[in-house]
Amino acid sequence: MDRRAGAGDPRPIGIFDSGVGGLTVVRAIRERLPMEPTIYVADLLHFPYGPRFQDEVRGFAIDIIRYLESRDVKLVVIACNTATAAALNHARELFEVPIVGVISPGAQAAVEATKNNRVGVISTEGTMRSQEYLHAIKEIDPMVGVYQKACPELVDIVEAGEADSPRAEEVLRRDLDDIVRLGADTLVLGCTHYPLLKPAITRLYPGSFQLVDSATTTAAKVERHLDHSRLRAAGAEPRHEILVTAVPHQFDRIAANIFGDAVHAQEVQLWEKQTT
Ligand code: DGL
């Protein structure tokens, strides 16, 4: 491909998650890099990833990356903390295409944000069991205390379109209680579904935390990578595809809220015989 013609590298960025959560990363990427085309895959067939075994999630992630590679993406973003914890290292060994995860950008942002060296991390069970945030944060600054909490119900609440509801507030109050008592001044939203809970968190705990959102930090990392590797697109209005691996139900409605525009996800079959 001739990239000197002024169109840069027009290939899309491939992005995936188990459901609507990764769309928070897509939104951040579209805002930061408005000329980049994207292909998003929501693996609704296997949602939720959080309670599953790591090797199972890794298998789903590898299959999705293989599909994205077949679509000639220039970069893959694993827009899911659970899948990043389960598959990032392995996937980098398997594939030529560059792959970015969401954990190290969030860990870096948390270390930069904390003033009292106390960081809370909320995530799925899978991400918490992997201890990836603990290691990533301690790798940058071993003096930072990390308080982790698995909040699986919050994932279901967001996927059901109830992120800004009394139910969300009740569960947040229960789940964040320990982290508030431990005095963390920074809260990592260690699941890409959680940025949609920001209004409820801010209402419940005004000014208590610096919220670290892995969506915006990952978009910044994607920008750095594209610039460094000279992979930026330029020119034409970019095309965005949103694909789902099972019937979308609430998906289009929640996605439309995220983008402020109608979304019509297309179904894609990635597995011959459907596994659940
Ligand atoms: N959004 C995902 C994450 O960041 C996973 C939620 C789930 O499928 O349990 O971990």
**What pLDDT shows up at residue 272?**
81
Round to whole Å and give the CA distance between 92 and 95: 6
Mutate to test the pocket of ligand 1, among 20, 40, 45, 49 (most ligand atoms within 8 A of CB): 49
Mutate to test the pocket of ligand 1, among 43, 52, 77, 82 (most ligand atoms within 8 A of CB): 82
All domains in the chain, ordered by first residue: 3-101+217-267 (3.40.50.1860), 103-214 (3.40.50.1860)
Which atom of ligand 1 lies closest to the CA of 127? Answer: 10
Round to whole Å and give the CA distance between 82 and 256: 24
Task: Find out whether 97 and 110 touch, Cβ atoms under 8 Å.
Answer: no
User: 39, exposed or middle or buried, with CB in 10 Å at 0-12, 13-18, 19+?
Assistant: buried
Selection from 59, 69, 57, 61 nearest residue 96 by Cα: 69
From first to last of the 276 residues of the chain, give the pLDDT tens digit: 444 445 689 999 999 999 999 999 999 999 999 999 999 999 999 999 999 999 999 999 999 999 999 999 999 999 999 999 999 999 999 999 999 999 999 999 999 999 999 999 999 999 999 999 999 999 999 999 999 999 999 999 998 999 999 999 999 999 999 999 999 999 999 999 999 999 999 999 999 999 998 888 899 999 999 999 999 998 788 999 999 999 988 899 999 989 988 999 999 999 986 555
Which atom of ligand 1 lies closest to the CA of 82? Answer: 10
Alpha carbon of 170 to ligand 1 centroid (Å): 20
Alpha carbon of 130 to ligand 1 centroid (Å): 13
Mutate to test the pocket of ligand 1, among 193, 245, 276 (most ligand atoms within 8 A of CB): 193
Selection from 189, 197, 190 nearest residue 156 by Cα: 197
**What pLDDT shows up at residue 1?**
46
For residues 93, 60, 53 and 22, what is the CA-based torsion angle, rounded to 10 degrees?
100
Alpha carbon of 12 to ligand 1 centroid (Å): 23
Ligand 1, residues at Cβ distance < 6 Å: 17-19, 21, 47-50, 80-82, 124, 127, 155, 191-193
Alpha carbon of 192 to ligand 1 centroid (Å): 6
C-alpha atoms less than 13 angstroms from C-alpha of 182 in its C-beta half-sphere: 18
Task: Find out whether 184 and 43 touch, Cβ atoms under 8 Å.
Answer: no
**If you take atom 9 of ligand 1, which residue's CA is the nearest one?**
50
**What pLDDT shows up at residue 149?**
97
Which atom of ligand 1 lies closest to the CA of 83? Answer: 10
Alpha carbon of 117 to ligand 1 centroid (Å): 26
Q: What is the 3-state secondary structure (H, E, C) of the chain?
A: CCHHHCCECCCCEEEEECCCCCHHHHHHHHHHCCCCCEEEEECHHHCCCCCCCHHHHHHHHHHHHHHHHHCCCCEEEECCHHHHHHHHHHHHHHCCCCEECCHHHHHHHHHHHCCCCEEEEEECHHHHHHCHHHHHHHHHCCCCEEEEEECHHHHHHHHCCCCCCHHHHHHHHHHHHHHHHCCCCEEEECCCCHHHHHHHHHHHCCCCCEEEEHHHHHHHHHHHHHHHCCCCECCCCCCEEEEECCCCCCHHHHHHHHHCCCCCCEECCCCCCCCC
Task: Point out the residues that are catalytic.
Answer: 80, 191
CA distance to 165, 196, 207, per residue, from 210 (Å): 22, 15, 8
Q: Structure pTM?
A: 0.94
**What pLDDT shows up at residue 4?**
42
Round to whole Å and give the CA distance between 47 and 63: 15
**What pLDDT shows up at residue 2?**
43
Alpha carbon of 48 to ligand 1 centroid (Å): 7
Which atom of ligand 1 lies closest to the CA of 22? Answer: 1
